[in-house]
Protein backbone atom coordinates (compact mmCIF):
# COMPACT_ATOMS: atom_id res chain seq x y z
CA UNK A 1 0.00 0.00 0.00
CA UNK A 2 1.59 3.25 -1.14
CA UNK A 3 1.02 6.01 1.37
CA UNK A 4 0.75 9.70 0.65
CA UNK A 5 2.78 11.30 3.47
CA UNK A 6 1.72 14.79 4.53
CA UNK A 7 3.85 16.92 6.86
CA UNK A 8 2.37 19.95 8.59
CA UNK A 9 5.01 22.37 9.90
CA UNK A 10 3.34 24.78 12.29
CA UNK A 11 4.84 27.88 13.85
CA UNK A 12 4.06 27.82 17.59
CA UNK A 13 6.22 30.77 18.62
CA UNK A 14 5.00 33.27 21.23
CA UNK A 15 3.42 35.56 18.66
CA UNK A 16 0.99 32.78 17.75
CA UNK A 17 -0.30 32.65 21.32
CA UNK A 18 -4.01 33.17 21.85
CA UNK A 19 -6.47 33.41 18.99
CA UNK A 20 -4.02 32.42 16.18
CA UNK A 21 -2.97 29.13 17.79
CA UNK A 22 -6.58 28.33 18.60
CA UNK A 23 -7.45 29.00 14.97
CA UNK A 24 -4.66 26.67 13.83
CA UNK A 25 -5.87 23.88 16.10
CA UNK A 26 -9.40 24.39 14.93
CA UNK A 27 -8.23 24.46 11.31
CA UNK A 28 -6.38 21.16 11.65
CA UNK A 29 -9.45 19.63 13.28
CA UNK A 30 -11.74 20.79 10.47
CA UNK A 31 -9.21 19.47 7.96
CA UNK A 32 -9.18 16.05 9.65
CA UNK A 33 -12.96 15.84 9.66
CA UNK A 34 -13.13 16.73 6.00
CA UNK A 35 -10.38 14.32 4.92
CA UNK A 36 -12.01 11.50 6.85
CA UNK A 37 -15.02 11.88 4.54
CA UNK A 38 -12.87 11.42 1.45
CA UNK A 39 -12.48 7.73 0.58
CA UNK A 40 -9.26 8.21 -1.33
CA UNK A 41 -7.66 10.40 1.35
CA UNK A 42 -8.64 8.10 4.21
CA UNK A 43 -6.97 5.18 2.45
CA UNK A 44 -3.80 6.86 1.31
CA UNK A 45 -3.00 10.02 3.29
CA UNK A 46 -0.77 9.78 6.37
CA UNK A 47 -0.27 12.85 8.48
CA UNK A 48 2.51 14.16 10.72
CA UNK A 49 2.59 17.36 12.77
CA UNK A 50 5.83 19.20 13.44
CA UNK A 51 5.78 22.38 15.52
CA UNK A 52 8.53 24.92 15.88
CA UNK A 53 9.10 27.62 18.50
CA UNK A 54 12.40 27.82 20.41
CA UNK A 55 12.96 24.25 19.22
CA UNK A 56 11.29 21.98 16.67
CA UNK A 57 9.44 18.83 17.67
CA UNK A 58 7.57 16.14 15.82
CA UNK A 59 4.39 16.09 17.88
CA UNK A 60 2.76 13.33 15.87
CA UNK A 61 4.78 10.86 13.80
CA UNK A 62 3.43 9.92 10.37
CA UNK A 63 0.02 8.42 11.21
CA UNK A 64 -2.82 7.18 9.06
CA UNK A 65 -5.83 9.45 8.97
CA UNK A 66 -8.13 7.08 10.79
CA UNK A 67 -5.81 6.69 13.78
CA UNK A 68 -4.66 10.32 13.89
CA UNK A 69 -5.44 12.17 17.12
CA UNK A 70 -5.10 15.88 17.51
CA UNK A 71 -2.10 16.72 19.72
CA UNK A 72 -2.27 19.50 22.29
CA UNK A 73 -0.49 22.57 20.95
CA UNK A 74 0.63 25.65 22.88
CA UNK A 75 2.53 28.70 21.66
CA UNK A 76 5.59 30.32 23.25
CA UNK A 77 9.22 31.17 22.50
CA UNK A 78 11.12 32.09 19.34
CA UNK A 79 10.99 30.79 15.76
CA UNK A 80 13.44 27.93 15.13
CA UNK A 81 12.44 27.55 11.48
CA UNK A 82 15.80 26.09 10.46
CA UNK A 83 15.46 23.34 13.05
CA UNK A 84 12.02 22.54 11.68
CA UNK A 85 13.43 22.17 8.15
CA UNK A 86 16.17 19.86 9.42
CA UNK A 87 13.66 17.87 11.42
CA UNK A 88 11.25 17.33 8.55
CA UNK A 89 14.19 16.22 6.38
CA UNK A 90 15.17 13.57 8.93
CA UNK A 91 11.54 12.50 9.37
CA UNK A 92 11.21 12.01 5.61
CA UNK A 93 14.38 9.89 5.63
CA UNK A 94 13.07 7.78 8.46
CA UNK A 95 9.38 7.52 7.66
CA UNK A 96 8.93 7.61 3.90
CA UNK A 97 9.56 4.29 2.15
CA UNK A 98 11.57 4.38 -1.05
CA UNK A 99 10.69 2.36 -4.13
CA UNK A 100 12.98 -0.57 -4.81
CA UNK A 101 12.74 -3.55 -7.16
CA UNK A 102 11.18 -5.55 -4.33
CA UNK A 103 8.74 -2.99 -2.97
CA UNK A 104 6.69 -0.05 -4.15
CA UNK A 105 7.57 2.84 -1.91
CA UNK A 106 5.40 5.68 -0.70
CA UNK A 107 4.33 8.60 -2.83
CA UNK A 108 6.45 11.71 -2.54
CA UNK A 109 5.47 13.68 0.57
CA UNK A 110 3.48 16.91 0.64
CA UNK A 111 4.78 19.57 3.02
CA UNK A 112 2.67 22.45 4.31
CA UNK A 113 4.43 25.18 6.30
CA UNK A 114 2.64 27.90 8.23
CA UNK A 115 4.51 30.73 9.95
CA UNK A 116 3.69 34.21 11.21
CA UNK A 117 7.23 35.37 11.89
CA UNK A 118 10.84 35.62 10.82
CA UNK A 119 13.24 32.74 11.56
CA UNK A 120 15.35 33.36 14.64
CA UNK A 121 17.84 30.60 13.94
CA UNK A 122 20.36 29.78 11.27
CA UNK A 123 17.81 28.56 8.71
CA UNK A 124 20.10 29.15 5.70
CA UNK A 125 22.27 26.16 6.50
CA UNK A 126 19.21 23.96 7.06
CA UNK A 127 17.68 24.82 3.69
CA UNK A 128 19.97 22.60 1.54
CA UNK A 129 19.20 19.67 3.89
CA UNK A 130 15.49 20.11 3.30
CA UNK A 131 15.89 20.63 -0.44
CA UNK A 132 17.76 17.34 -0.81
CA UNK A 133 14.53 15.50 0.04
CA UNK A 134 12.15 14.93 -2.81
CA UNK A 135 8.68 16.27 -2.09
CA UNK A 136 5.74 16.27 -4.48
CA UNK A 137 5.30 19.88 -3.46
CA UNK A 138 5.86 22.19 -0.54
CA UNK A 139 3.44 25.00 0.17
CA UNK A 140 4.46 27.74 2.60
CA UNK A 141 1.93 30.10 4.12
CA UNK A 142 3.07 33.48 5.40
CA UNK A 143 0.45 34.43 7.95
CA UNK A 144 0.11 38.14 8.64
CA UNK A 145 2.48 41.05 8.17
CA UNK A 146 5.16 39.70 10.48
CA UNK A 147 5.96 36.79 8.17
CA UNK A 148 8.73 37.11 5.63
CA UNK A 149 7.60 35.71 2.27
CA UNK A 150 11.08 36.33 0.84
CA UNK A 151 12.46 33.68 3.22
CA UNK A 152 9.69 31.25 2.31
CA UNK A 153 10.23 31.89 -1.40
CA UNK A 154 13.70 30.41 -1.02
CA UNK A 155 12.22 27.29 0.53
CA UNK A 156 9.55 26.73 -2.12
CA UNK A 157 8.13 28.48 -5.17
CA UNK A 158 4.66 27.84 -3.75
CA UNK A 159 4.11 30.63 -1.23
CA UNK A 160 0.74 31.93 -0.19
CA UNK A 161 0.05 34.86 2.10
CA UNK A 162 -2.69 35.55 4.60
CA UNK A 163 -3.12 39.27 5.19
CA UNK A 164 -4.54 38.74 8.63
CA UNK A 165 -3.95 36.10 11.25
CA UNK A 166 -7.53 35.57 12.29
CA UNK A 167 -9.76 32.58 12.78
CA UNK A 168 -11.47 32.97 9.45
CA UNK A 169 -8.39 33.26 7.24
CA UNK A 170 -6.49 30.51 9.06
CA UNK A 171 -9.58 28.34 8.74
CA UNK A 172 -9.68 29.08 4.99
CA UNK A 173 -6.05 28.08 4.67
CA UNK A 174 -6.66 24.69 6.26
CA UNK A 175 -9.78 24.13 4.19
CA UNK A 176 -7.63 24.67 1.14
CA UNK A 177 -4.89 22.38 2.51
CA UNK A 178 -7.44 19.63 2.97
CA UNK A 179 -8.76 20.14 -0.58
CA UNK A 180 -5.18 19.94 -1.86
CA UNK A 181 -4.52 16.68 -0.01
CA UNK A 182 -7.82 15.38 -1.38
CA UNK A 183 -6.86 16.27 -4.95
CA UNK A 184 -3.41 14.71 -4.56
CA UNK A 185 -4.76 11.45 -3.18
CA UNK A 186 -7.41 11.24 -5.90
CA UNK A 187 -4.91 11.98 -8.61
CA UNK A 188 -2.41 9.34 -7.58
CA UNK A 189 -5.15 6.73 -7.43
CA UNK A 190 -6.60 7.80 -10.70
CA UNK A 191 -3.54 8.38 -12.82
CA UNK A 192 -0.66 7.03 -10.76
CA UNK A 193 0.94 10.45 -10.93
CA UNK A 194 1.69 13.00 -8.29
CA UNK A 195 0.62 16.60 -8.22
CA UNK A 196 3.76 18.68 -8.63
CA UNK A 197 2.82 22.31 -8.33
CA UNK A 198 0.39 24.90 -7.12
CA UNK A 199 -1.28 25.18 -10.53
CA UNK A 200 -2.53 21.60 -10.25
CA UNK A 201 -4.18 22.20 -6.88
CA UNK A 202 -7.66 23.57 -6.28
CA UNK A 203 -7.82 27.36 -6.56
CA UNK A 204 -7.00 28.96 -3.21
CA UNK A 205 -9.73 31.00 -1.48
CA UNK A 206 -9.83 34.80 -1.71
CA UNK A 207 -8.15 35.19 1.68
CA UNK A 208 -5.07 33.46 0.33
CA UNK A 209 -2.84 35.55 -1.92
CA UNK A 210 -0.34 33.71 -4.03
CA UNK A 211 3.07 35.32 -3.71
CA UNK A 212 4.95 35.44 -7.01
Partner 1 sequence: MNATQQYLEQLFANGNLPVTEARNKLLQQFCQDEVNSKAVTEILTYQNMLMDKWQLFNRITTIQEQPFTIPNATAGKPYEAVIDRDQQGWVDMEVIELNGLEDTGLQYDAETGSITGTPTAHGDRKLVLRYRLQQEPEEAEPHEKSIPLVINPNPRLLWKNLGSDATDLYWKEDDIAFTAPLGGKLLVAASKRGRSHANTGGFRDDDIAYGHFGQTGWSVIAVADGAGSAPLARQGAKLAVNAVVNYFTPALTGDGLPELELLLQEYNHGTGADTQKKLNQQIYTHLGKAALYAHKQLEAFAHTKEVALKDLHSTLLFVLLKQFAFGYAVLSFSVGDGVIGLVNTDQTAAMLMNRLDVGEFGGGTRFITMPEIFKNELFYTRFGCKVVDDFSHLFLMTDGIFDPKFVTEAALEKPEKWQELIRDLAGENEDGKKVELSPDNTQVAEELSAWMDFWSAGNHDDRTLAIVF
Asked if 142 contacts 160 with a C-beta cutoff of 8 angstroms, the reply is yes
Q: At a CB cut-off of 8 Å and minimum separation 6, what does 162 contact?
A: 141, 142, 143, 144, 169, 170, 172, 173, 207, 208, 209
Asked if 146 contacts 119 with a C-beta cutoff of 8 angstroms, the reply is no
Binding mask 87-116 for partner 1 (x = CB under 8 A): ------------x-xxxx------------
Q: How far is the CB of 65 from partner 1 (least distance, A)?
A: 8
Helix axes 167-191, 19-35, angle to 10 degrees: 30
Residue of 18, 19, 39, 76 that binds partner 1 (CB under 8 A): 39
Strand partners, 112: 8, 139
- Looking at the Cβ atoms of 94 and 104, the one nearer to partner 1 is 104
Residue of 12, 13, 15, 44 that binds partner 1 (CB under 8 A): 44
CA distance 140 to 165: 15
Residue of 12, 13, 15, 38 that binds partner 1 (CB under 8 A): 38
Residue of 34, 54, 186, 209 that binds partner 1 (CB under 8 A): 186
Query: Per CB under 8 A, does 206 bind partner 1?
Result: no
Q: How far is the CB of 189 from partner 1 (least distance, A)?
A: 5
CA distance 27 to 138: 19
Query: Per CB under 8 A, does 137 bind partner 1?
Result: no
Query: Which residues here bind partner 1, judged by CB under 8 A?
Result: 1-2, 33, 36-40, 42-44, 65-69, 72, 99, 101-104, 186, 189-193
Amino acid sequence: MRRLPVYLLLDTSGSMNGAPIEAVKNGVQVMLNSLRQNPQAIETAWLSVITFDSTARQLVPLTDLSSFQMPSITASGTTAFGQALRLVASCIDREVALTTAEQKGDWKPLVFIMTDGVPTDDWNTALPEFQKRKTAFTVACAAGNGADSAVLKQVTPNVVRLDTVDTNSIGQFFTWVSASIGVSSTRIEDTGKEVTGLDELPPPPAELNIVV
